[in-house]
């Protein structure tokens, strides 16, 4: 069983429990559900740097990255750096996140927030909206095309933008539908955990221009970002590079200065 399969198995169990605790009707009553979303797409299109900064305490590939700094400090520093978006991991078992992280982030910033989660059920989309997200992540590797269509359609219906993550050409083919806003190429091989930005470069010309494209994982310096921009990438989702430092916001600001 791959790590992705383990995560999805865990997620199904989690959903069985949480659905019995909080109904969809309860979620729709929360204040953030009525809130008008801020467009991550517009922010990226009009940015001179395209940085989406991630809050991530740990990961299956790196174990603990940084669990010592309070989320308030990190989000405030990202906000001050004026990033295009903030990606918040809400998976607990494998990434050390929570929905509370999402709620805290929403209170601290007006910057677009991406809920980064292993979404397999419509419930999670309602949950994302109700807890302050502006956009959701879908992962093509764990979804069939029909699921992608249904989940992304619901997200758009309730005002969320949709980023779908791919790793290869076969996954890309499942994602070329009108309810997808952003296609993100993950440079990390989910089987080996090796990262290579050439994955983004290889797939760049296969992604139709109607989709905004971003590159994810393994980006470690400004020269890589400049290189990727030449291939049409408008956004760069970066977590570990920032989170492994004692002052993530300063790392973001320093990187942005070099990019622009």
Active-site amino acid positions: 54, 56, 116, 165, 186, 216-217
Please report the sign of the dihedral spanned by the C-alpha atoms of residue 245, residue 58, residue 216, residue 72.
negative
Q: Which residues of 153-168 are buried (b: 16+ CB within 10 A; e: fewer)?
A: ebbbeeebbbbbbbbb
DSSP secondary structure letters along 171-238: HHHTT-STT--EEEEE-B-TTT--B-THHHHHHHTTS-TTSEEEEES---SHHHHHHHHTTT--EEEE
Name the phi and psi angles at 129, rounded to 5.
-60, -45
- Whether 145 and 139 have beta carbons less than 8 Å apart is answered as no
CB 37: neighbour CB atoms within 10 A?
17
Q: How far apart are CA 191 and CA 92, in angstroms?
A: 21
**Three-point CA angle 66, 139, 175, nearest 5°:** 145
Q: Which residue has the tokens 């994602």?
A: 175
Question: Could you give the C-alpha distances from 180 to 71, 106, 212, 216, in angstroms and in order?
Answer: 30, 23, 9, 17
Q: Which residue, 51, 56, 116, is CA-closest to 81?
A: 51
Tokens of residue 109, six digits: 């910033």
245 secondary structure, DSSP code: S
């Amino acid at each position: 069983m791959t790590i992705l399969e383990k995560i999805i198995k865990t997620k199904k169990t989690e959903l069985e429990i949480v659905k019995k605790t909080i109904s969809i009707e309860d979620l729709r009553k929360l204040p953030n559900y009525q809130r008008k979303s801020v467009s991550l797409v517009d922010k990226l299109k009009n940015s001179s740097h395209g940085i989406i900064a991630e809050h991530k305490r740990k990961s299956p590939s790196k174990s603990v990255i940084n669990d010592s700094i309070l989320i308030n400090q990190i989000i405030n520093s990202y906000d001050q750096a004026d990033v295009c978006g903030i990606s918040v991991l809400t998976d607990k078992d494998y990434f050390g996140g929570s929905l509370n992280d999402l709620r805290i982030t929403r209170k601290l910033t007006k910057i677009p927030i991406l809920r980064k989660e292993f979404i397999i059920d419509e419930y999670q989309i309602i949950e994302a909206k109700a807890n302050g997200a502006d956009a959701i992540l879908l992962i093509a590797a764990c979804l069939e095309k029909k699921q992608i269509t249904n989940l992304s359609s619901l997200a758009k219906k309730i005002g969320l933008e949709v980023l779908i993550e791919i790793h290869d050409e076969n996954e890309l083919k499942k994602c070329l539908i009108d309810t997808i806003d952003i296609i993100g190429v993950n440079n990390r091989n989910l089987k080996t955990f090796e990262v290579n930005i050439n994955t983004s470069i290889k797939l760049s010309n296969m992604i139709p221009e109607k989709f905004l494209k971003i590159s994810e994982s393994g980006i470690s310096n400004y020269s890589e970002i400049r290189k990727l921009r030449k291939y049409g990438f408008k956004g760069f989702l970066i977590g570990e590079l920032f989170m492994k430092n004692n002052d993530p916001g300063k790392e973001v600001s320093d990187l942005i200065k070099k990019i622009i």
